[in-house]
Amino acid sequence: MADRHRPRSGEAKCSSSQATGDWAALPCDCLQQVLLLLPLRDRVAAASVCKAWRGLGDRGTLWSHVEFATHRNGSRRSELRRLLSLAAWCERHAGGTRSLSVSARVPPDCQPAALKDVAAAALAAAPSLRSLHVTTNRGFWPSFLSSLHQLRSLHLSSKEGGLSLTHDLTPLRHLTSLVLEARQAVSLSDTVRLPPGIVTVELSCIRDWLPQPLSQLAGLQRLHVRRGLVSEGVLLTEYEALGHLKALTSLALEHQEEEAWLLPPEMLLLTRLRSLSFAGNDCSRERGWALHGSDEAFDGCLARMLHLTSLDISGCCMEELMPALLHDTDQHGTAGSGSDGEEQQQGGPNANGRPAGGPRLLRLLAHGNQLEAGEEEDGQLRFPGSLRQLSIDVQLLAVSGLRLPPGCRQLALMGREKAAALRALAAGLPALLQQAPELRHLVLEPPALEALEQLGSGGAEPELVQGPGGRWRPTRLPGQPRLRQQGDALQQLRAAGVEVVELREAGQLLALLDQLAASGQQAAS
């Protein structure tokens, strides 16, 4: 009879696993890492489950990073109540918060009062707050920011209209990063004083000129302007503040809406640049480059940037590369993989008669242009020989005079037309593997990747012919060679040690190239 009530072996294992899987028995450090994976609302609910978990919530480490958004179904008044409840919660629990992100959409007439309450909640976390990101629907009034003495990163966003910064930020003596983002222009009042320790500034949009208060930041290292607007009657955007930012190592002036974007003369003073981007600016000759003589000015400016290693000219409608970039095409050949540009003596010509000196690029993003061979290139389209990462349009593979850098390790072929990519890959893939023996990653957008897979299945399908009754595929005649006689393209790439990587969003190209370069360095080490 005793054996009848004895638990079976499976039941004993089940009860044992339930006993050992008790969440309440987890160590505090392990439980904290699990709860940090939950959204804020679920985290608050979990912190009130039992006495042990409530004690974990009172320790403050559970609220080191807080993200709160009021974007739910309901009126803006209800979203305002949610925002006020966040303020009440912060006053009690946000003493140990290091990163606070608040996204709110509240009525315009109630917004100042709501932001004041949120500001009071942020002040409660002032002793430890390091990062603050506030997103509102209409502008921002950062009058309370001067009390956040430990703040390192400040990100202000406006979803409707522009954004104006008018208050003194010098009390934020530890601030190193400032991001101002708005749908319309971002402006800084002339009376604004900025902390001298800021090293990174990002502006989503400017109008007519670069904000003058930026000239106070003599130690600024990174400046990124994603868009520039020009008012009616204004010909060129003014960048006078650039002349005071001689410590810049990274500069991006992208998508400047001018009829013919010209190089700011203040850039002649920025000789420490390592990364430069003017993607999306119209730099075509027919738009006025030749009229203003800016070809020589641009080339001379690049020749002075001896430390430049990364250049983004994507979407600029250029017809040829600047001669200053090609000074090392024959001189370096298979250049080393150092991270810094090597300084060269200027004044003497190289093997091609070009002036010696200029940047030694390791990365060049050149897709979205109309590149052709220069007048002195003997009908060949060349790129800097020191390049390790390159992006071009996939159609360039079909150009007979294309000469890729032999040391290129990551190559991105950009293009979203499958038919054009199929023809280019079929024509240029063998030469690609021959010219770039060190290639390790081939980055393709989805249409080009589909074309490569179709090419890898045996070749291209014959084109359809328009005839009576619709489009039809011509019949292969007796004795006519088959079209499917090419080798497997994917297998050829694998045999050469090349990995094919898909790029779903063009905006993620830079991050993907950084990731591939890091993985390659880890594999080599």
Residue pointed to by tokens 């390192």 = 152
Using H for helix, E for strand and C for coil, what is the string for 42-73? HHHHHCCCCHHHHHHHHCCHHHCEEEEECCCC
pLDDT confidence tier of residue 16, bands split at 50, 70 and 90: very low
Query: How far is the CA of 465 from the CAs of 27, 421, 473, in angstroms?
Result: 71, 20, 6
CA angle 92, 95, 96 (to 5 degrees): 135
Contact 63, 94 (CB under 8 A): yes
How far apart CA 15 and CA 22 sit, in angstroms, is 11
Contact 62, 70 (CB under 8 A): no
- Residue 47 predicted with pLDDT over 60: yes
- Taking the model in full, what pTM does it have? 0.79
Contact 143, 120 (CB under 8 A): no
Tell me: the pLDDT tens digits for 302-355?
A: 888 999 999 999 998 888 888 888 865 544 444 333 333 333 344 444 444 444
Domain ranges for the chain? 24-63, 394-459+486-525
The domain made up of 24-63 is a member of CATH 1.20.1280: yes
Tell me: the pLDDT tens digits for 415-469?
A: 988 888 888 888 888 888 899 999 999 999 999 988 888 875 544 444 555 555 5
pLDDT of residue 458: 46
pLDDT of residue 87: 72
Six-digit token string for 296: 């020589």
Using H for helix, E for strand and C for coil, what is the string for 329-383? CCCCCCCCCCCCCCCCCCCCECCCCCECCCCCCCEEECCCCCCCCCCCCCCCEEC
Q: Where are the alpha helices (DSSP H) in 305-337?
A: none
Q: What is the mean pLDDT of the chain?
A: 77
- Residue 41 predicted with pLDDT over 70: no
pLDDT confidence tier of residue 183, bands split at 50, 70 and 90: confident
Tell me: the pLDDT tens digits for 57-87?
A: 666 667 777 787 766 555 666 767 777 777 7
The proportion of the chain whose per-residue pLDDT surpasses 90, expressed as a percent, equals: 29
Strand partners, 102: 68, 134
User: What letter represents residue 80's amino acid?
Assistant: L
